[in-house]
Structure 1
Amino acid sequence: MKAYLISLAVGVAVGLLYNVAQVKSPAPPTIALVGLLGMLGGEHLIPFVRTWLGSGIR
């Protein structure tokens, strides 16, 4: 979890620097990032549901 927070903090800092320098970010558009988030959610959804259902049966 610590690595994710560090990554987020560095990303925000770089974004601020890009804004101050008035440089367009090379990052993909927000809609693409939302799609990636959906893919990650979908990837973890089935194992999560299996674990959740499996723990309720016992």
Structure 2
Amino acid sequence: MALSVELAQQHGHVAGEAEVVIKGLAQRTGDRIAGAGALDAISAGLCLGGGI
């Protein structure tokens, strides 16, 4: 999942779009806890990286 986020960022997608994609993946797989953890990791990464 992290690789998908990196690719989305490289192609200029905004963070909101990445969050929507991850939420959709989490819902489809039923793994909401991992999805929430990924969102937290992205949020932390965006803060550390100065955002998109």
- TM norm. shorter chain > 0.5: no
Greater relative contact order, per chain length (Cα 8 Å cut-off, separation 6+): 2
